[in-house]
């Protein structure tokens, strides 16, 4: 009796799942009108960037894709592997130089930045700035100095109690009011600073959790070897703490990428901002499902790439698997 009931339920569920998959595929391939995406693909990628200069952000994104592929699929040993972390760190200033211009390149105003290029720049820039600030805040919260410990704790608790949109509004609308006459910070830099200072509070708690997971015997062993407190922190404690906190830091990076969509509310035309402007066009009215499914696919691909890179780094840092 139970076997026949289980078979019946399995058949019904299989039929329902098959019908659902067939309906979705039929809509995606036959019923959906993807012209709203195909005709505006350059706008999604680079925004309103000058047409004759679009090769610059495209070159940067191609370099990112190649670097991701080499990191995940390339050889685990070799001379280039030693330089791989520095190459990753150089991608943010390289992208900023290619997009913003300067030196031998024609300068492009931040008003023309947009699309997926702007999303990646906001994520890269704020992430690289938030990580060292978060580490310093975590160390400050565990410091023996009362002033440093209390100030770090107050900053972390304040940022965690304030919504991100309020921090972004403060960075975009209020900071220019406090600047002296003649001094101006462009909107992209203000957004990067707001994201970084907000994310640093959460990164600090993740790193603090990693620091607390290190047994005291590690510091004692380092002291026996003659290492100073700073050397012990730099060479023994902090590398292990960051490795332990890596899954949580990956979550923060993914959340940071997704939170860049809030900038559409404040006028920066990243992916969501471009989608909203397209849906306001009378030609594409009613194409909400196609547009937001396309956005979901783009964010899913980007977040999956970040998760795979973090998993790869986690395996490389695992002492039990690093030699395999």
Establish if 21 belongs to a structural domain.
no
Which position has the token pair 């995606």? Answer: 28
Establish if 303 belongs to a structural domain.
yes
DSSP state of 49: -
Please give the pLDDT value at position 62. 92
Domain that holds residue 105: 32-314
Give the count of domains, the chain: 1
Nearest to 136 by CA among 220, 238, 218: 238
Establish if 47 belongs to a structural domain.
yes
CATH of the domain at 198: 1.10.3720.10
Please give the pLDDT value at position 201. 92
Establish if 9 belongs to a structural domain.
no
Establish if 17 belongs to a structural domain.
no
Cα 262 from Cα 34, distance rounded (Å): 25
Please give the pLDDT value at position 319. 61
Please give the pLDDT value at position 323. 47
What is the pTM (predicted TM-score) of this model? 0.84
pLDDT in tens, the chain (324 residues): 567 777 777 888 888 888 888 887 877 777 777 888 888 888 888 888 888 888 889 999 999 999 888 888 877 777 777 788 888 888 888 888 888 887 788 888 888 888 888 899 889 889 999 999 999 999 898 888 889 889 999 999 999 898 988 888 887 777 777 777 777 777 888 888 889 999 999 999 999 888 888 888 887 787 777 777 788 888 888 888 888 888 899 899 999 998 888 887 777 788 888 888 888 888 887 788 888 888 889 999 999 998 898 888 888 776 655 544
Establish if 89 belongs to a structural domain.
yes
Establish if 5 belongs to a structural domain.
no
Q: Where are the alpha helices (DSSP H) in the chain?
A: 2-26, 35-38, 41-46, 55-73, 79-100, 115-141, 146-161, 164-169, 175-178, 187-212, 216-224, 229-232, 238-244, 246-259, 271-279, 288-317
Establish if 289 belongs to a structural domain.
yes
Contacts of 163 (CB under 8 A, 6+ apart): none
């Amino acid at each position: 009796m139970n076997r026949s009931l289980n078979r019946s339920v399995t058949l019904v569920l299989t039929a329902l799942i098959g019908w659902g998959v067939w309906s979705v595929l039929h809509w995606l391939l036959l019923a959906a009108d993807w012209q709203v995406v195909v005709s505006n693909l350059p706008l999604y990628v680079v925004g309103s960037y000058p047409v004759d200069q679009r090769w610059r952000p495209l070159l940067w994104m191609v370099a990112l894709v190649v670097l991701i592929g080499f990191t995940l699929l390339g050889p685990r040993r070799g001379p280039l592997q030693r330089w791989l972390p520095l190459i990753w760190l150089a991608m943010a200033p390289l992208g900023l130089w290619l997009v913003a211009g300067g030196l031998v390149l024609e300068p492009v105003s931040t008003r023309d930045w947009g699309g997926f290029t702007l999303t990646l720049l906001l994520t890269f820039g704020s992430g690289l700035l938030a990580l060292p600030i978060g580490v310093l805040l975590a160390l400050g919260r565990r410091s023996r100095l009362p002033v440093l410990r209390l100030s770090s704790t107050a900053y972390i608790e304040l940022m965690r109690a304030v919504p991100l949109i309020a921090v972004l509004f403060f960075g975009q609308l209020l900071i220019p009011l406090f600047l002296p006459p003649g001094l101006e910070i462009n909107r992209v830099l203000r957004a990067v600073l707001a994201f970084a200072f907000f994310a640093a509070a959460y990164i600090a708690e993740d790193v603090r959790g990693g620091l607390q997971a290190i047994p005291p015997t590690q510091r004692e062993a380092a002291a026996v070897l003659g290492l100073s407190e700073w050397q012990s922190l730099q060479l023994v404690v902090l590398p292990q703490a960051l490795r332990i906190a890596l899954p949580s830091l990956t979550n923060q990076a993914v959340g940071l990428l997704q939170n860049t969509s809030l900038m559409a509310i404040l006028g920066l035309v990243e992916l969501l901002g471009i989608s909203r402007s397209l849906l306001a066009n009378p030609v594409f009215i009613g194409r909400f499902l196609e547009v937001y499914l396309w956005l979901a696919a783009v964010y899913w691909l980007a977040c999956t790439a970040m998760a795979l890179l973090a998993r790869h780094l986690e395996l490389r840092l695992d002492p039990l698997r690093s030699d395999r």
